[in-house]
Amino acid sequence: MRAAIALLTLFFAGPALAQTVVTSSAPESVAVTVYRDPDRGDGGIDANRPSGFALVTEKRRITLPAGDATIRFEGVMDGMIAVSAVVTGLPGGVIQKNRDAQLLSPAALLDGTLGNRVHLRRTNRATATVREQDAVIRSGPDNAVVLQTAEGFEGLRCSGLPEGLSYDAIPSGLSAKPTLSVTTSSPQGVTADVTLTYLATGFDWAANYVVRVAPDGRTLDLFAWLTVANGNSISLPDAQLLAVAGRLNRESDYDAIDGQPHSAYLSLRCWPLPRYDLTPDGGYPPPSPPPPAAPAPIMMRAEAMEDVVVTGSRIARQEDLGDLKLYRVPMQVDVNANGQKQVALLQRATVPFTLFYAADILAEDEDDTPRPLKRMIRMQNETKGGLGLPLPSGGVAIFAPTHAGESLLLADSRLRDHAIGETVKLDAGESSQHFLTFGRAPESTDDRPVRQLTLSNAADRAVSVEIRIRADDEDQLISKSTKLSRKDGAWLWSTSVPANGTARLRYTIASER
């Protein structure tokens, strides 16, 4: 008899054990490796919609019962790619996994309670009296929300009084946090250290450089921030942060498989009311003029930025990852939801550079309007040149000193990816003292005109200028008044323009077209 009772007890207990749900609310520790958007190029991060991705590794401690159980990993990233999720450390392995698709939101609450009873709470503005009554939701969040009360049908928040809804319970299938559920079967009750690894969209990173030109105008100090963007609604506190530089070969369509939880939009619309602000002819009055724009800042001082002093132990460490570069942040940081994080990426002092002026033109251009030359900074990315390290692409803020000892913003530029050994060129803005003018030389003929380029220098010192002249493959430059070199598929005119002086180049184009 006792054996029969025991068997019956096990028989009826089986289904109950199969329904055991174990919830892991947050990871014990987390590491995130961020990859840049390979299609972004040298542009900046889209702060509203970061389009890179990340590899997230979470360590969680979970207490499992014997037998079948469903484990809910709460607080995973919104952009989690569920098909990429790998769970290790479970004694019974993973039987199946599911991405809980719908998040808790006002729209989801309305949709899940459609046709059911809720409580409508209203406050009288004049008397502050609170009135509560039962209502039934008859139209969901996709349209104007319609309620049925004892007085009839009406739209939510169309009465003109402050009002809200309260619910007796949360509809099934809704989750307050993005959640991944897996089922497992453990041979015995155990506390296991589990690792959850997955790819997630909604991340991106970029380098942001600060260049400070020395007073002698021959060297500069280079500092770079590693800026990481997290476009998810989940924060990663005390995370180990890594970033991968280089163009990663990515063929998967992450937008199609990321499986982000659905959160419907709540639309509250009322029936149109009569307008009493129309003009006598029935039209709308003209809109009010916009407020005056805030005055633009005259200058930006470098001292307004944080005076960063970073020790070597806090600068990201560079490692090789195949042909890519991996940057490991040496301390744990908070990567907050819908925010950006900056940590020190690299730092170099007293880097020698060359200042020159440049322009890129077409060989057949005849625009005689003077155009300013670009101010350019050139460095050699070599150890003997003060650099000698990979430089990820990113924005560059260039500051230069004044005679009064201030450091002011000279240019806001961009830098492409540079490998060790390459020549680094920074666009430091247009010059107001150095110009290029096109024209025809006096000896021009109608059948083959002679073009003339004139460089003018209004400064009190000589400057170096490089003009890149682009021509079609079938065109040739003949009768050059000075020697030109060929570089990167174009003709290069390198010259020195004396202080308060000019320099000229005359050339003729011979075309076979």
CA distance 208 to 210: 7
Torsion from C-alpha of 342, 347, 353, 355, nearest 10 degrees:
20
Q: What is the pLDDT of residues 396-444, one digit of tens each?
A: 999 999 888 888 999 999 999 999 999 999 999 999 999 999 887 776 6
pLDDT at 7: 41
Residue 246 tokens, joined: 């280089």
**Those residues with Cβ within 8 angstroms of residue 400's Cβ, 6 or more apart along the chain or in another chain:** 213, 407, 408, 410
Give rounded-to-5 percent helix, strand, coil for the chain. Answer: 10, 50, 45
Let me know: does 371 contact 359? Beta carbons within 8 Å.
Answer: yes
CA distance 451 to 506: 6
Q: What is the pLDDT of residues 216-249, one digit of tens each?
A: 889 999 999 999 999 998 999 999 999 998 777 6
Residue 461: how many other CB atoms lie within 10 Å: 8
485 CB burial (10 A radius; 0-12, 13-18, 19+)? exposed
pLDDT at 451: 84
CA distance 51 to 499: 49
Q: What is the pLDDT of residues 283-294, one digit of tens each?
A: 555 555 555 544
Mean pLDDT of 435-461: 82
Residue 49 tokens, joined: 């919609």
pLDDT at 10: 41
Taking CA atoms, 320 is separated from 57, 243, 317, 325, 327, in Å, by 20, 12, 10, 5, 9
The position carrying tokens 């589990």 is 194
- pLDDT tier at 258, thresholds 50, 70, 90: low
The CATH number for 354-380+422-511, chosen from 3.40.50, 2.60.40, 3.30.43, 1.20.58, is: 2.60.40
CA distance 239 to 373: 46
The pTM is what?
Answer: 0.73
CB environment 181-200: b (16+ within 10 A), e (fewer): bbebbbeeeeebebebebbb
Residue 355 tokens, joined: 């200042």
> Bridge partners of 478?
508
Mean pLDDT of 20-25: 90
- pLDDT tier at 278, thresholds 50, 70, 90: low
Which of the pair, 172 or 449, is modelled with greater confidence?
449
pLDDT at 466: 95
Domain boundaries, the chain: 2-99+177-203+237-252, 106-169, 354-380+422-511
DSSP-assigned states of every residue in 51-119? -EEEEEEEEEEEEE-SEEEEEEEET--TTB-GGG-EEE--TT--SEEEEE-EE--HHHHHHHTTTSEEE
Mean pLDDT of 208-221: 93
CA distance 375 to 393: 20
- Three-state SS at 150: coil
